[in-house]
Structure 1
């Protein structure tokens, strides 16, 4: 059993390291092939590193490259993650940020086009896919992700307002650096980045599930064997067509768990009726795996 556990952990480590490498390549393509030629700023710490590169090249006797700036700006956040989240999480975050910084340095800017709209859209799409893939495989790309996890863990609150304020600062900086049209192009890039990331990383998307069945105990056991989710039972429901006894089950899952839910229902009651809708807001406890 110990050998199996070690093998699974080793497989997890290899998967995470490979994903870190893939993310490093994708973010370097976004920065060097699209954002830099198009004068587009990214969100978060990557955008701040771009801003530092612009300021240093114009006002200082030396230039801080985007890759180097990205790693240096993340160092204080590594310390926060080490103390507030955990060693394994921090180690993989350091690996991911280091590979990202290294690949940004290694791949020199290749201007496929200087059109700012194309650069904003494709840069945002490439980076969003990379970030979503990283998060999907349980690794952090550093930056504000770390603050978000620490604050959520300590207070239960998100840092949505901090993210908005930080990215607004980046957009304003883009306006001052390259002109206000480029600030708007950067906003387009931020929106595309967020949309593609949401399409790729689905664990944060909540869905309300209503299941109507005449085999409630079997369905509950099957669902809870596949998923770690609470279920609310509504007894004494009645079907309008045949007036047979039914039970209604309510639960909330993430979109990432849809496949497991479908498998659980097929195993327990193939005739069950399930209605699934997007859940806009959740109040109360909702289990999320530790990073």
Structure 2
């Protein structure tokens, strides 16, 4: 229940911050966001220019862009992941729809910097809670789960198309402003949370078989077993499990330990480097 509340709260926070970034900075400054939000901006603007009226709001377009991706996630990634992603996308669309577009400044650089910072905070906070904001994240996770390979160029290609269209629609200087916004957003996001950050965890436990089973079931990462270790104070026999997870998986890891062996002693080392095969599996 606590896990559900945390993820739902993170979805609400993301919805609020993404709507602030979009309606207070991106839209008034003609600055484009990255990923699915940027695609929604492009589609909405193109439809408006074609028909002469704003008949397709960005809030609706954002949800429609994510619908086929959510269906892909349901079939190929996991139902729990899909439900949380759907909640996040829905919250974002609702807040974007009901919070009015308000111009705080006419300076496009300020709009790009502050919009990017606010959007980056929302995305980083969502990832820290173990949820996805949808868009290209879904495709990346799907490919990684099915093939074990990363598709790092996907976001680059999508964002490149978005900023190029921004240049065509509003002028090439706005393409540069959009690049600034995307860069600032990614830096703030990384400052709050980095999905690829590796954590080495050492678990001192009396229930190694159960924990190994649950860790394999959830993450499919290798686990090293150190048998016949001894507690320095109690001199009781323990087993030490060593494994590496990503920061993205930390909340699920913490939940497994708390549920199946709350008396285990866990030590966590951040920013470890991994040589050899390491596959991320997300649900």
Using structure 2 for the length normalisation, give the TM-score.
Answer: 0.75
SS of structure 2 residue aligned to 1:105: helix
1:20 alignment counterpart: 11
SS of structure 2 residue aligned to 1:70: helix
1:117 alignment counterpart: 109
Q: 2:86 & 2:163 partners in 1: Cα distance?
A: 27
* Paired residues for 1:45-56 under 5 Å: 45-56=36-47
- Root mean square deviation, CA, Å: 3.0
1:200, CA displacement in angstroms?
Answer: 1.2
Q: 1:111 & 1:23 partners in 2: Cα distance?
A: 21
2:180 alignment counterpart: 188
Which one has a bigger Cα radius of gyration? 1
1:38 alignment counterpart: 29
2:260 alignment counterpart: none
* Paired residues for 1:162-241 under 5 Å: 162-206=154-198, 221=204, 230=223
Q: 2:42 & 2:149 partners in 1: Cα distance?
A: 29
Using structure 1 for the length normalisation, give the TM-score.
Answer: 0.73
1:282–1:56 CA distance, 2 compared to 1 (3 A):
farther
1:264, CA displacement in angstroms?
Answer: 5.2
| Structure 1: gaps of 5 or more residues | 1-9, 210-218, 234-249, 267-273
SS of structure 2 residue aligned to 1:20: helix
Whose relative contact order is higher, 1 or 2, with alpha carbons under 8 Å and at least 6 apart?
2
1:285, CA displacement in angstroms?
Answer: 2.1
1:52, CA displacement in angstroms?
Answer: 1.2
Contact 1:220 1:231 in 2 (8 A): no
* Paired residues for 1:1-291 under 5 Å: 10-63=1-54, 64-206=56-198, 221=204, 230=223, 254=246, 279=273, 283-286=276-279, 288=280, 290-291=282-283
Q: 1:254 & 1:77 partners in 2: Cα distance?
A: 23
Q: 1:100 & 1:194 partners in 2: Cα distance?
A: 19
1:81, CA displacement in angstroms?
Answer: 0.7
1:206, CA displacement in angstroms?
Answer: 3.3
1:172–1:278 CA distance, 2 compared to 1 (3 A):
farther
1:136, CA displacement in angstroms?
Answer: 1.1
Contact 1:229 1:253 in 2 (8 A): no
| Structure 2: gaps of 5 or more residues | 216-220, 227-241, 255-264
1:108, CA displacement in angstroms?
Answer: 0.8
Contact 1:27 1:100 in 2 (8 A): yes
Q: 1:132 & 1:277 partners in 2: Cα distance?
A: 17
Q: 1:236-277 CA distances to partner (integer Å, 9 max, x unpaired)?
A: xxxxxxxxxxxxxx98665687xx9xx8569xxxxxxx9x76
Q: 2:4 & 2:31 partners in 1: Cα distance?
A: 34
Number of corresponding residues: 242
1:231–1:87 CA distance, 2 compared to 1 (3 A):
closer
